[in-house]
Amino acid sequence: MTWNDVVFMLPEIILSIGASLLLIAPVIGWRLKEASAKWAILILLAITALSVVICSNVVEGLPQTVSYSAMFALDGFAIFFKLLFITAIAMIVLLSDDFLRESRYSAWEYYSLLGFALIGMMFMASGVHLASIYIGLELMSLSSYILTGFFKNEQKSTEAAMKYFVLGTVSSGILLYGISLIYGVTGSLNLLTIAKAMSTIITNDALMFGIMLLGAGLCFKIAAVPFHVWTPDVYEGAPTPIAAFLSTASKGAAVAIFARIFYVGLHDFQLDWSNILATISALSMILGNLAALTQDNVKRMLAYSSIGHAGYVLLGILSLNAMGLRGVLIYTLVYVFANLGIWATVLMLRRHEYAGERVDDFEGLHKRAPFWAFAMIIFLLSLGGIPPTAGFIGKYFLFAAAIQSGFGWLAIIAVLMSAVSMFFYFRIVVAMYLREGREAEVAITPALKLVAGVCLAVTLIFGILPAPLINQATESSSWVAARAAILTHAGR
Amino acid sequence: MNNILSWIVWLPIAAAVILAFFPRNAVTAIKSLGLGASIVTFGLSFVVVQLFQDSVATFQFVESHTWIPQWGIRYALGVDGIAIWLVMLTTLLTPVVFLSSWNAIHKHPKEYVIAFLIMEAAMIGVFMATDILVFYVFFELTLLPMYLVIGVWGGANRIYAAIKFFLFTISGSLLMLLGIIYLAFLQYHDVGRPDFSIAHLYGLSIPMHTQAILFAAFALAFAIKVPLFPLHTWLPDAHVEAPTGGSIILAGVMLKMGTYGFLRFCLPLFPDATAKYAKLMIILAVIGVIYGALVSWVQPDMKKLVAYSSVSHLGFCVLGIFALNQTAIEGSILQMVNHGLSTGALFLLVGVIYERRHTRMLADYGGLAATMPLYATFFVITVLSSVGLPGLNGFVGEFLILAGSFKTHPTATIIAAAGVVLAAIYLLWLVQRVFFGPVTKEENRSVPEIAWNEVAAMVPLVVLMVWIGVHPNTFLRKMSPSVQKLMTTVQKGGQRGQVMVAGALTRRSAAPSPRGRGIWQRGPLPSGEGGRRPGEGR
Amino acid sequence: MANYSVLLVAALIVLSLPVLTLFVLAPLVRASRANKVKLEPYECGVPASSYAFDHRFSVRYFLIAVLFIIFDVETVFLFPWAIRFKQLGWFGAVEMAVFLAILLIGYFYAWKRKVLSWV
């Protein structure tokens, strides 16, 4: 433990102190307005983001790339995801503002829980050791269980939290069991050591079982079939901004550790796990997209679509090549922004309690808010992977990665399911543009405008000029790619 | 003038962006700006035609800028003899649409104009792209505006039709995307750097079974777009529900993106697969010709009649393409233009009368020639052009196609020729039932004559019908060298394929070829080494 | 594998003992005189007031229980540190202080939110 170690973790330390302060500030007698909570957390997030940037620059000058007994890395991959998560949480704070104002629950508590979840996600992004990854995952999960049931008096919310909690802890247990089996065989929890130990192992049933359990636990977190059953109920029941959090930031963090563990730690066993993941990926894409067809509730539809997207992201993980790794980074970013944009639009339609949740509520939106209706089309196209939106770039990488590693059949399923997904995405477009009669009631606040505007800009700019994003993804993935023994310059 | 093609593509988009800031109720200004922009675009494309060098076979007015350097994707535009007339057709039909719908669109006129301008730009981009991914981007970009045009301004059943159109097309084009990615990998292993340029891709030598799969991926996308016989079901729905302008563009230009795709990609990229599956395509095309004609014959709805006649006429184009000889392909390209002109005009005219009577049922008409003589004249000329009367454009195209394909596929040609006869029957019967005979309905006595804007839209179309019919060489002259080059590529590819097959046969006892892996097989693609066999020149 | 088969046999024997005694031997030798009181889940002499499922406990029981567990588990972390106190030195002391501080913040929060006061 040296000062260098502190530098590695400084953003998390700052955020921990800040989030703790947010939690206790209102209860120790400081007279604070509810409205200032969002400013406090936004300033805290800005400081954290700034410290991530500064610390990453300092770390570049240091001889070591990992710290805390090789448990914690601040490489490009970690920085990429940390900044993405901070941005996502900041946008979720903006989405939550109105929602909280109408409720009688403490905004301070809510935001501090979001802060704790963010600490967990940042740990996950940085973790190169199964223990630190697991701790980060648990911190994030526990915070999100509470946030899901944050509106204690709403039955749906409580029910969702209960389901999420029970299933989530079971999956954490499975994950932990997998980790312990891997530890038993390889003698280490450090991903690099695990990889080294694995290179000498030809076959080992306990190890395979461990990898399977680990994969199952992670698949639960990213909501892949057959570990997806919690998703629609939880998204539907959770407060809408928390559903947005679960479907974007929380899922992104799970994808990050999924990629890191399988690329860095388990790459030698790719032939064994890639087929299992391919099956899971195919099932997720098929079931997620087909089930979404029949949903009338937008939150449930987005939940099923997010199951489908978990399947797409798995393409990048199971193909284990430079294209796939970059695809995971790009797709996660693109998906987070497009999805947050959609959630922002859903919240625009919110009035009273539950509106904006049914597809019908979008009817005639283009008359009331033509610009945001157009933005919604762009987000939906991006999720469907249609050019010239950023989603096309992400899908291109994932499809190319699958083809490159010989999973052509999976790529074909993926495109067919993309076409299916356009059908239910376009139900919203149909409602917004083509149905006559009702005019959607909207409550567009500056905060929602800001979120949707940022998401629109990102989705369009990276769709039309993807070169900087691709460069960034290549650079950010270089540490992981080098450890996974894949060439960064291979492919395009 | 180096980037005149970019001007043509981006001018409509720029106009659309400016229009977005116009106040909603400045309807006349919006329409004028839309019309003005499309006319200027037409003027620019006319300049391109004037400066086009007839003897050059390769892409002209080429421009190329780095777009996504990591994949070697360049924003690259260019026109050759195959594309130039289709570009011209697009820029001609867009102002025609604006003129014809000048008074017909009351709902959201601003969005209507914007949608058509973006669609125009995307369609021009499809015909001009010389980078396969740029082509794909534009190909997809045409979808959304057309979807909205059908869905917002369409008829009663418009939502169903719009979604059907969208889903059919997108499933095809997404599979094409996979084909493009795979093609890019092949090119990468061949030349060692990412390259999506169409001209460079022509140099690839691809093993037969890979060609077959890629051909299927591309051909499916294009066959849906054309639409070829079993995949045509979206077309009648889309046409019937679409507003007049949408039908004009859909039939006039968008279907040509399919036939153009065959010419630009399927033939030169996969010559062996083309040679192998040409017969299948021709059978489908001929079925389309006859089936479309027969279904047209029994349609009680004018618009549906014209829609099914499109299936029939496009069947001719596909027949010409897969006859695989110069005459037929030239005829096919000319027929694409002809179909754009005459079917576009037919949809326009059907729209004119629908505006006045709000019915498209043939039974509701009769004896209109007396009340609307000018309209009847236009209609008869257009129908004759569509039927293929000598002296008008349809004759030249159909004649060239049939003459060309007779050399290679005489039976198919003879059956297809029956389609011409059927076309004469159902189209002339259409004229008979609408314009002649006694006036059975009172309403038909007082239908207002065709208006100034509709005349203005029709005149250039009729002029071109006569021009192509009388002097087709103006048009054929420019496409000949490019078609010739295409034919050499196809034939060389065919020979190369035979060499390869022979080589593979002799080497079968040796180690299996590393390139001999299909898309289906597990395991990473081979790298390094390159796909070209030693001693095999380009 | 031979070694493990012994274990398996042992495990089977161990498992079979309670099963045999409970379900096979006991019914044979015991007197069976069932009555209402005997069939109650808790046979303690006092009539049961209600079934377990019907009764609601105050949520405060659970809060206290959770707090108890947190501080109970805390000591688990204190023991290893205490044993290695000399070797870990100042570093260990500071680390433990941070750990305790985090717990104290939680304790303080619970206190201020009136979790500890019993109404």
Residue B390 buriedness (CB in 10 A; 0-12 / 13-18 / 19+): exposed
* pLDDT tens-digit map of B431-486: 888 888 788 777 777 788 888 888 888 899 999 999 988 888 888 888 888 888 88
Sign for the pseudo-dihedral over CA of A424, B176, B181, B501: positive
**Residue B513 placed within a domain:** no
CB contact under 8 A, C105 and A1: no
What residue numbers bound the domain in which B447 lies? Answer: 4-493
B451: left (phi over 0), alpha (psi -120 to 50) or beta: beta
Share of residues in chain A with pLDDT > 70 (%): 96
* pLDDT tens-digit map of B68-91: 888 888 888 989 888 989 999 999
Residue A88 buriedness (CB in 10 A; 0-12 / 13-18 / 19+): buried
User: Does an H or E element contain A72, and which?
Assistant: strand A72-73
**Residue B33 placed within a domain:** yes
Testing the interface with C: which of A20, A109, A158 to mutate, by most C Cβ within 10 A?
A20
pLDDT tier, B41 (very low <50, low <70, confident <90, very high otherwise)? very high
On the question of pLDDT at A243 being above 80, the answer is: yes
Quickly tell me which residue has 């990102």 as its tokens: A458
pTM of the model: 0.85
- Residues A350, A92: Cα–Cα separation, whole Å: 15
What is the domain count for chain C?
A: 1
**Residue A246 placed within a domain:** no
Looking at every residue in chain B, the average pLDDT score rounds to 84
On the question of pLDDT at B18 being above 80, the answer is: yes
Minimum Cα–Cα distance from A410: chain B residue:
B520
**Residue C38 placed within a domain:** yes
A231 near A219, Cβ under 8 Å? no
pLDDT of residue B135: 93
Find residue B131's DSSP bridge partners.
Answer: B197
B293 near B429, Cβ under 8 Å? no
CB contact under 8 A, A419 and B158: no
Give me the count of residues in chain A. Answer: 492
- Residues C4, C1: Cα–Cα separation, whole Å: 5
pLDDT, average across residues B265-274: 88
pLDDT of residue B531: 37
Give me the count of residues in chain C. Answer: 119
Please report residues of C whose CB lies closer than 8 A to that of A27: 109, 112-113
pLDDT tier, A486 (very low <50, low <70, confident <90, very high otherwise)? low
**Residue C119 placed within a domain:** no
* pLDDT tens-digit map of A173-183: 999 999 999 99
| Chain B touched by A404 (CB under 8 Å) | yes
* pLDDT tens-digit map of A17-45: 999 998 888 887 777 787 888 899 999 99
Looking at every residue in chain A, the average pLDDT score rounds to 88
A453: left (phi over 0), alpha (psi -120 to 50) or beta: alpha
Who wins on pLDDT, A356 or B36? B36
| Chain B touched by A389 (CB under 8 Å) | no
The Cβ-side half-sphere exposure at A451, using a 13 Å CA radius, reads 31
CB contact under 8 A, A27 and C102: no
On the question of pLDDT at A140 being above 90, the answer is: yes
Minimum Cα–Cα distance from C90: chain A residue:
A1
Buried b (16+ CB within 10 A) or exposed e, A4-21: eeebbbbbbebbbebbbb
- Residues C113, B262: Cα–Cα separation, whole Å: 73
pLDDT of residue B432: 87
Who wins on pLDDT, A157 or C52? A157
Chains A and C touch (3+ CB pairs under 8 A): yes
**Residue B318 placed within a domain:** yes
Neighbours of chain A (3+ CB pairs under 8 A): B, C
**B326-357 and B393-408 are packed helices; what angle lies between their axes, rounded to 10 degrees?**
140
**Residue A391 placed within a domain:** yes
What is the domain count for chain A?
A: 1
On the question of pLDDT at B26 being above 80, the answer is: yes
Testing the interface with B: which of A397, A426, A428 to mutate, by most B Cβ within 10 A?
A426
A111 near A88, Cβ under 8 Å? no
* pLDDT tens-digit map of A282-340: 999 999 999 998 888 888 999 999 999 999 999 999 988 888 999 999 999 999 999 99
User: Does an H or E element contain B114, and which?
Assistant: helix B109-128
Least confident span in B191-200, B495-504, C9-18: B495-504
Testing the interface with A: which of C103, C112, C114, C117 to mutate, by most A Cβ within 10 A?
C112
- Residues A145, A158: Cα–Cα separation, whole Å: 10
pLDDT, average across residues C63-92: 86
CB contact under 8 A, C102 and A20: yes
Provide the pairing of β-strand B60-68 with B73-79.
Answer: antiparallel
**Residue A53 placed within a domain:** no
The Cβ-side half-sphere exposure at B480, using a 13 Å CA radius, reads 11
**Residue A140 placed within a domain:** no
pLDDT, average across residues A147-174: 91
pLDDT tier, A352 (very low <50, low <70, confident <90, very high otherwise)? low
Which two structure tokens, joined as six digits, stand for B510? 């040796």
Share of residues in chain A with pLDDT > 90 (%): 50
On the question of pLDDT at A408 being above 60, the answer is: yes
| Chain A touched by B287 (CB under 8 Å) | no
Longest CA–CA separation in chain B, Å: 83
pLDDT tier, A2 (very low <50, low <70, confident <90, very high otherwise)? low
What residue numbers bound the domain in which C48 lies? Answer: 2-112
Which residues 326-385 of A have a C-beta within 8 angstroms of B? 377, 381
On the question of pLDDT at A347 being above 70, the answer is: yes
Choose the most confident range, by mean pLDDT, from A51-55, A66-70, B495-499: A51-55
Our CA angle for A162, A163, A166, nearest 5°, is 80
Residue C16 buriedness (CB in 10 A; 0-12 / 13-18 / 19+): exposed
pLDDT, average across residues A8-17: 91
Least confident span in A394-408, A411-425, B379-393, C42-56: C42-56
pLDDT of residue A50: 94
pLDDT of residue C59: 78
What residue numbers bound the domain in which A408 lies? Answer: 270-492
The Cβ-side half-sphere exposure at B212, using a 13 Å CA radius, reads 9
Please report residues of A whose CB lies closer than 8 A to that of C102: 16, 20
Nearest partner of A242 among A144, A120, A101, A350, judged by Cα: A144
On the question of pLDDT at A355 being above 70, the answer is: no
On the question of pLDDT at B508 being above 50, the answer is: no
pLDDT of residue B189: 82
| Chain B touched by A454 (CB under 8 Å) | no
What is the domain count for chain B?
A: 1
**Residue A98 placed within a domain:** no
Which two structure tokens, joined as six digits, stand for B514? 């590393």
Chains B and C touch (3+ CB pairs under 8 A): no
pLDDT of residue B69: 83
**Residue A60 placed within a domain:** no
**Residue A33 placed within a domain:** no
pLDDT of residue C2: 58
**Residue C23 placed within a domain:** yes
**Residue C67 placed within a domain:** yes
CB contact under 8 A, B188 and A491: yes
Testing the interface with C: which of A27, A105, A143, A145 to mutate, by most C Cβ within 10 A?
A27
**Residue B171 placed within a domain:** yes
Name the residue among A386, A434, A471 with its Cβ closest to that of B140: A386
Sign for the pseudo-dihedral over CA of A469, A473, A474, A475: positive
Nearest partner of A46 among A56, A38, A35, A36, judged by Cα: A38
Name the residue among A1, A20, A27 with its Cβ closest to that of C112: A27
On the question of pLDDT at B535 being above 50, the answer is: no
pLDDT tier, A87 (very low <50, low <70, confident <90, very high otherwise)? very high
Q: What CATH number is given to the structural domain containing C34?
A: 1.20.58
CB contact under 8 A, A27 and C91: no
| Chain C touched by A131 (CB under 8 Å) | no
Contacts of B120 (CB under 8 A, 6+ apart): B12, B38, B41, B90, B91, B94
The Cβ-side half-sphere exposure at B251, using a 13 Å CA radius, reads 35
Torsion, CA B279, CA B283, CA B288, CA B291, rounded to 10? 170
Find residue A299's DSSP bridge partners.
Answer: none
| Chain A touched by B182 (CB under 8 Å) | yes
Please confirm whether the linkage preceding B390 is cis (ω < 30° from 0): no
Who wins on pLDDT, B402 or B507? B402
**Residue B516 placed within a domain:** no
User: For residue B17, what is the DSSP state?
Assistant: H
Who wins on pLDDT, B441 or A107? A107
Minimum Cα–Cα distance from A17: chain C residue:
C102
pLDDT tier, B94 (very low <50, low <70, confident <90, very high otherwise)? very high
Please confirm whether the linkage preceding A226 is cis (ω < 30° from 0): yes
pLDDT of residue B370: 81
pLDDT tier, C119 (very low <50, low <70, confident <90, very high otherwise)? low
Nearest partner of A421 among B433, B174, B179, B403, judged by Cα: B174
- Residues B413, A246: Cα–Cα separation, whole Å: 62
pLDDT of residue C110: 86
Nearest partner of B449 among B354, B374, B348, B357, judged by Cα: B374
Who wins on pLDDT, A177 or C36? A177
Torsion, CA B255, CA B257, CA B258, CA B259, rounded to 10? 90
* pLDDT tens-digit map of B235-263: 988 988 888 889 999 998 999 999 999 99
ipTM score for this prediction: 0.86
CB contact under 8 A, A24 and C91: no
pLDDT, average across residues A101-113: 86
| Chain A touched by B107 (CB under 8 Å) | no
Give the amino acid at C43: E
pLDDT of residue A423: 87
B266 near B215, Cβ under 8 Å? yes
Who wins on pLDDT, B92 or B531? B92
